[in-house]
Amino acid sequence: MGDIRYDGRVAVITGAGNGLGRSYARYLAARGARVVVNDLGGGTDGEGNDSRAADTVVAEIRGAGGEAVPNYDSVATAEGGESIVNTALETYGRVDIVINNAGILRDTSIPKMSSDNFDILIDVHLKGAFYVTQPAFRVMKQNAYGRVLYTTSAAGLFGNFGQANYAAAKMGLVGLSSVTAIEGAKYNIRSNVIAPIARTRLTEELMGAMGDAFAPEFITPMVAYLVSEECEYSHEIFNAGAGRYARVFVGSAPGWTAPDGETPDVEMIRDNLERISSTEGFTIPANAMEA
């Protein structure tokens, strides 16, 4: 089998000025993709803006012989998302790949969290991914080709103290990807989710010395495969970090069914809770109707 390449493909990558996004942009460009490097250039809390983050990555790609163009719009508004996709269309005439990577953090416990700090995480992570994907999806549908990748995290999938806003947004992205995959299936649009564990601006203080084992470059090959033409997977979640790659899934077990004609009471639930909570014999529903 030959090398996986992206010649002729146009990739939009949000939050591509640093960390994971920078690694993705450089990797895809080195393999032939033309890349829109989107980055607002703000701080880890979403404040401020600076064009240098995107410009630096574009210069790196061009210096290595690749093609790239910067974009500085915020993903947190519909207008920003539309502008990001328009940058791809106006510069390269198409969009084939969207990697929703942009994100910020504002950690605090539930009793102390302000509505502003909750809302802005939803705006950037969840709404931001929708605002970029929606206009790109329309183009992909017309072209009968597309690869969309959303970014969740272990905090979103399993929870983490002090990250209610982040976890809510990140789990929301799993649902968004599921619908993208279902609606995109007949148009050759694949949608998946990556749950990276990596050293980035958002995590380096938490990881400390351990961060050296979690370089972004360990995540990039999995991401690159999921947005490649060879990828037939869709509606999936994959975990990646420090050289380990694994599928994560939402399953449904057989459970317990009340006897025909009976409306169960709370004691019946209690008495059958072992069967209700058992994970043996689980299945992985493809959609809500299957569930």
Catalytic residue among 27, 166, 225, 233: 166
Calculate the alpha carbon distances from 252 to 195, 248, 259, 285 in Å: 21, 13, 20, 7
Q: Specify the amino acid at residue 112.
A: K
b/e string for 2-37 if b means 16 or more Cβ within 10 A? eeeebeebbbbbbbbbbbbbbbbbbbbbebebbbbb
Q: Specify the amino acid at residue 104.
A: I
With residue 64 as reference, give the H or E element that holds it.
Answer: none
Q: How far apart are CA 146 and CA 16, in angstroms?
A: 19
b/e string for 136-150 if b means 16 or more Cβ within 10 A? bbebbbeeebbbbbb
Residue 27 is among the residues annotated as catalytic for this protein: no
Q: Which residues are catalytic?
A: 166
